[in-house]
């Protein structure tokens, strides 16, 4: 079962995959990261909705990937609502065309971050680690030349280039 659950819409799947890889590499590897679209997380023949519910129930931290398109989608709101009702830590992670100041309620009540900010990925990792309470020490701020940061930035840039297609 996962400790970190990433909620996203289908159109942002590449960003979600990039974020999963980034968190897996940056946070203590004993903490599992769950994506519902990962074919190695939900196998053929399984009840996918039940699996998502189980993973959401077992998670400690829910990262919401929020763009202007995703905040209005039922699926992200459904998972965020489930996380809220079970007192999970919810981290709104803005990217692309969504800014922290533009987050609608109830997301704007939560301390959010922007993955596009220079320190956004580091703030995400330190926040996740804070809530998971890992035994290790969080590494110092990432250099912009770290491979993990470069890979995440590449995925975010690709998503930003596709934004007009979503609208």
Q: What is the pLDDT of residue 167?
A: 45
Tokens of 91: 């981290």
Q: Which helix (H) or strand (E) holds 80?
A: helix 74-85
Tell me the pTM.
Answer: 0.86
pLDDT at residue number 165: 53
Residue found under tokens 């830590």: 89
In whole angstroms, what is the distance from residue 107 CA to residue 78 CA? 13
Q: Counting Cβ atoms within 10 Å, is residue 40 exposed (0-12), middle (13-18) or buried (19+)?
A: exposed
CATH number at residue 112: 3.40.50.10140
Q: Angle at CA 92, nearest 5°, toward 107 and 65?
A: 120
Segments forming the whole domain that contains residue 102: 4-166
C-alpha distances out from residue 93 to 16, 44, 120, 131, 148, Å:
11, 30, 9, 15, 17
Beta pairing class for 89-94 and 61-66 = parallel
pLDDT of residue 146: 83
Predicted local distance difference test score (pLDDT) of residue 166: 47
Helix 48-58 and helix 74-85, axial crossing angle in degrees, nearest 10: 40
What is the spatial distance between Cα 48 and Cα 24, in angstroms, rounded to a whole number?
A: 22
Task: Return d(Cα 103, Cα 106) in angstroms, integer.
Answer: 8
Please state the domain count of the chain.
1
At a CB cut-off of 8 Å and minimum separation 6, what does 31 contact? 3, 4, 132, 134
Question: One digit per residue, pLDDT tens: the chain, 167 residues?
Answer: 889 999 999 899 999 999 999 998 888 777 899 997 776 778 889 898 898 899 999 999 999 999 999 998 998 999 999 999 999 999 999 999 999 999 999 999 999 999 999 889 989 998 998 898 755 555 556 777 888 888 888 988 888 777 655 44
Tell me what pLDDT residue 159 has.
82
């Amino acid at each position: 079962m996962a400790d970190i659950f990433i909620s996203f819409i289908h159109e942002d799947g590449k960003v979600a995959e990039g974020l999963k890889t980034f968190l897996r590499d940056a946070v203590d590897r004993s903490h599992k990261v769950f994506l519902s679209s990962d074919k190695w997380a939900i196998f053929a023949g399984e009840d996918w909705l039940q699996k998502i519910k189980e993973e959401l129930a077992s998670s400690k931290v829910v990262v919401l990937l929020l763009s202007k398109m995703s905040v209005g989608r039922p699926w992200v709101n459904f998972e965020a609502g489930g996380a809220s009702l079970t007192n999970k830590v919810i981290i709104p992670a803005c990217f692309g065309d969504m800014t922290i100041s533009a987050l609608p309620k109830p997301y704007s009540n939560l301390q959010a971050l922007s993955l596009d900010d220079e320190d956004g990925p580091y703030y995400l990792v330190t926040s996740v680690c804070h809530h998971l309470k890992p035994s290790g020490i969080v590494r110092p701020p990432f250099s912009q030349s770290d491979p993990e940061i470069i890979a995440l930035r590449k995925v975010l840039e690709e998503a930003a280039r596709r934004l007009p297609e979503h609208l």
